[in-house]
Each structure stands twice: as structure tokens, then as C-alpha cells.
Amino acid sequence: MPRASLIRSVFGRVTLSSVLVSLVSTLLLFMVVQRIVVADGRSMLAREVDTDLAGLADIYVSGGASELRERIADRLAVARNDGGHNWYLMTDAAGRPLAGNLDRSPLAIDPQRSQARSVTLPDGSHMFARATQLDPQVRLIVGRTDERGERLLQQLGLAFAVTGAVIALLSLIAGHFAARRLRRRVEAVNTTFVAVRAGRIVARVSEAGDSDELAELAANTNAMLDQVERLIDAQRAVSDQTAHEIRTPLMHLDTHILKAMESTQDKPLLRTLNQSRGEIRGVVQLLDSLLDIAGTQALRGDLRGLAKIDLSDIAERLADLYGASAEELGIGFHARITSGVMMRADPMQIMRLMSNLLDNAFKYVPSGGSVTLCLESGPRIVVEDDGAGIPLADRERIFERYVRLEGALGIGHGLGLALARAIAQRHDMSLHVEDAAPGARFVFQPEDDRD
């Protein structure tokens, strides 16, 4: 049984979903951690900037502008041990730089409102800064860049990327092995159904495994198949019993009628009794045909009792038999039989199928017509006549029970073709009728070969 692709397989989708969930979970966790680290770094920078700015403001109040310039220069001369940078800008009221390492004041920060925010420097780095108005003529901006925080974010990103990849790989491996084990157990159920559909009604699912839902599914499957097998056996028993219980009294009645015929010389009574015997035989034949159809339909797909048979031999024997009958009826009969055609089948049912098709052809072909039996590899059996043919609207209806088209020669119950199709379906074959122009062509062949 072919396996579904990874995307179409339920277990494949579950495995991929687990990998996706692990990746999304890792990404969401990284985003949360990143947000916390960024917020914490910003808060730390804000405290440092505000502390430094407050100290410089006190220096300005106590020592004036010259003292403030010296302290700014001192701070710039000291390198920070965390790799970060300090940024200062002291300007006059017109914005002209008086001290510091910034060329100009960031437009996004309003010193009159003592604003603080992150700004982008000309080199592309980010700085957190606060501006304040020390007096109407002096403004001061203090800023910090957090290279340590940026490095931490990079390290976190790398760590989460590696961790996410490892988690995804582990999820894929674990999901693969779990899915493979589950797939084997589900495939055991599917394989059993395929085997039953192919005719092995005794096939069952192995229930080895955990006591879980799949074990329960296997147990229910086996219980259902046991019930189906019991129903099939019961149907066979009922059919056999019904045939026996009905056929026996009819045969007794026929025997009584025969004895009555032997004890009388009344010709009108003899004709009536003989007609009654014919009707009894007709009822028995009808009963046999109905039981054959029901029994064959119940065995559809059941390959028990089937064996490899030589279809060519069966067709040759039927050709000899029907060839002699055709001469008496004035009908031309032709047989084209390929030798060595083999098939796994019930020989009696296949003989019955071909006989019913030939009987049907002879019924609808008047004297002077012709019937052809053809057997080819495949196997493919064709019975063709050059009679009036079958209207398109009736080409499926004729396989129903009790259907007889106008123009048939002889008597019958209209069950021959219904039984023939039941036999074909029992052997996983198709039986259909085509237009032979003129006449009808009945084709028996594998189901997959039909267009």
C-alpha cells in the first residue's frame, strides 16, 4: 500500500507542526527576553545619564561655565570599562557648541522641557540622552551608548538561534520516531482492510502495542471483521437451508404429479399435470437463480475457494457445446480462443457466466444470424451477436433482476445477466455491454481495464 507524502500524511503534518511550534515558541521567548533586556538597559542608562546630568548641573551652579567645561573634559578623558561611550554637548542659547564631543544638538530633544530619549548618531549607533536648560544662556546634553547591552543582545540572539535549531532538530527526530511507530500501527489496520477487500476475509489486525486509542481501534476492527465473517457464514447457511427447505417439497410435489400421470389415461388431465410439472421446474430454476445471485453477491471480494483455472479449456468445451446447438438453430457460431489464458476464479461460476452470456445471445439472434465467442489474455471474454442490439437506455437496466427485452426467443425469468454481473463482481471484474453495430457485445474484463 503506497504511503502518503510527508505533507499529506497526518503523522508528517503532526511532526512538522511540532517543529513549527518549537521554533515559534523559541522566537516568542527570545522576543520577550529581548524586550526585558532592552527595557532594563534603557532604565540603567537613564539612571546613569540623570545622575551624571544632575552632578554637572550642580558643578555649573557652584563653579560656573568654565568649571563645567573642565569637568566635561575630565569625563571625556576617562575611558569606560564596559566599552560604552559618554556624550556631552554644552551650547549657548543660539545652539553653538561650548564644550563636549557632539557637533550639534539633536533636534529630537527639547532642553527647555528636559526631554530624554534615544537618538541615532551620525555613525548609526544609538544613544540615550537627556537635555536640560541650565540657565537662559547655557544648555547641556548628556548621553550614553550601551555597547555592552548591544553585545548582550547579539549573544542572546545567537544563543536563542542555536537553541531553537537544536530544539527543532530534537523535535523533528522525536516526532519522526513517534510518527513512524504510530504510522506502522495505523498501516496495520489499513493493510488488514485492503486484505479483506481483496478477499482475505480471515485477515485481522495485530493488537500488539500499548493500551491506547490505536489498540482500541485494532480491537474494534477485529470485532467488526469477526461479525462480518459470521454474517457471511450465516448468509450462506440461510441460503443453503432455504434452498433445501423449498426445493424438497417442490420435488415431492413433482413426484406426486408424476405418479398421478402414471395412474391416468385422461389426456386433458395429463396435459394439465405435465404443464404443472413444467411450472414446478420453472419455480425451482427461479429459486436456484435467486439463491445463486444472492450467494455470489455476498461473496463479492471474497477470494476463498478460488483457484487458478484454465479459461481457454472452459471456453473450448463451451464452444463445442454451443457450436452443435447453433447448427440446429440455423445460427452461425464462431469461436476465437487464445490458448493458455489463466485466471484465479471459481471454474463453475465462470462457466455459468459464459453460458449465460451465450444463452442470452442465442435468445436475441434469429435464424440466420451469428454469435461470436472471443477469449483473449487479460483475461478478456467477449460474446458478440449481430441481432437487433440493445438500446442505450437499457444497457444498464438489463443487468437488473427480472428484466427481459422484447424480441427474446424462448422463456426465462430475466436473471441470467444479473447472475453474470454478480459473478464478475465477485471476481473483481467488470461486465458491460457495448454497441456491436449491429447487435450487442458483452465484455468481461478486469475492472481497471475498463475505460
Query: CATH number of the domain that 133 lies in?
Result: 3.30.450
What is the DSSP track for 175-227? HHHHHHHHHHHHHHHHHHHHHHHTT-TT------S-SSHHHHHHHHHHHHHHH
Mean pLDDT of 270-286: 73
**Highest mean pLDDT pick, 2-6, 288-292, 306-310, 415-419:** 306-310
Q: How many domains does the chain have?
A: 3
Q: pLDDT tens, 398-420? A: 888 777 676 555 555 667 888 88
Residue 357 located in a structural domain = yes
CA dihedral of 175, 181, 183, 184, whole degrees rounded to 10? 160
Domain CATH number, residue 313: 3.30.565.10
Q: C-alpha distances in angstroms, 297 versus 58, 145, 395? A: 105, 87, 20
Q: pLDDT tens, 118-129? A: 888 777 777 888
Residue 301 Rama label (left phi>0; alpha psi -120 to 50; beta):
left
The reply to whether 14 and 74 lie within a common domain is yes
Q: pLDDT tens, 196-255? A: 776 677 788 876 556 777 788 888 888 888 887 787 777 666 666 666 666 677 777 778
Residue 389 located in a structural domain = yes
**Boundaries of domain holding 238:** 213-298
Residue 163 located in a structural domain = no
The reply to whether 325 and 439 lie within a common domain is yes
The reply to whether 129 and 234 lie within a common domain is no
Q: What is the mean pLDDT of the chain?
A: 81
The reply to whether 259 and 379 lie within a common domain is no
380-385, strands of its sheet edge to edge:
332-337, 370-376, 380-385, 440-446, 429-435
> Above pLDDT 70, what percent of the chain?
83
Residue 199 Rama label (left phi>0; alpha psi -120 to 50; beta):
left
The reply to whether 369 and 245 lie within a common domain is no
Predicted TM-score (pTM) of this structure? 0.48
